[in-house]
Amino acid sequence: METVDNKVLKAMGAARSPKTFTLAEFADCGRPDAVRQALSRLVRAGSVRRIRPGLYDLPKKHPIIGTTVPNLEATVKAIMQRSNAKWQFSGAYAADLLGLSEQVPAKVVIITDGVARNISLGQMMLSFRRVAPRNLLGAGTTAGLVFQALRYFGSKSPDLEHHAKRLRRTLDENTKSDLVKLAPKMPVWMQGVVRFVTEERENG
């Protein structure tokens, strides 16, 4: 008979992309108390990492830096899994995800229409900030990430043209289409950036 430990590892290993697991996702592996005990054993053995109480992933090894940090997007998705709240990475981290900045902040800001809170992940802090719905434009999409990055840089940024050129080169057509749809709800200066980023698509 297959052990609960092996069932848990098999379930985690089946994920096709970086994923953070909650206890609820191991419901098919055994009774809740047996799953908790299995996870405790696997954490002690180093096979599974407990990111924080109730959140787990498979630790990844890097030849130079050792064990890598948890995947932030997967972790935030797991934290928000049972919530109907909208959320989006914002600020410097949004810019970093789009390749517009190499700055990885120690505090990652996630804006939401849900509960405001701070969650510590080792040396990194996740700061969930409640904002008005207008600031969650395109939440959950790459276009929404672009909106947040542009808000972070602002209309006076000396690098705005450089960032716009990069977005024009790197964004896929679906994201550009989403930006065109969202543009009327953006500030006037940002609409100009979106027109430049999506110009070829609009003329095509």
Report the alpha-carbon distance of residue 51 to residue 28 in Å, rounded: 21
Was domain 4-67 assigned CATH 1.25.40? no
Ramachandran category for residue 103: left, alpha or beta (phi over 0 → left; psi -120 to 50 → alpha): beta
Domain ranges of the chain: 4-67, 83-203
At residue 129, the pLDDT reads 97
Report the alpha-carbon distance of residue 18 to residue 162 in Å, rounded: 31
- pLDDT tens, 89-147? 999 999 999 999 887 788 999 999 999 999 998 788 999 999 999 999 999 999 999 99
At residue 18, the pLDDT reads 87
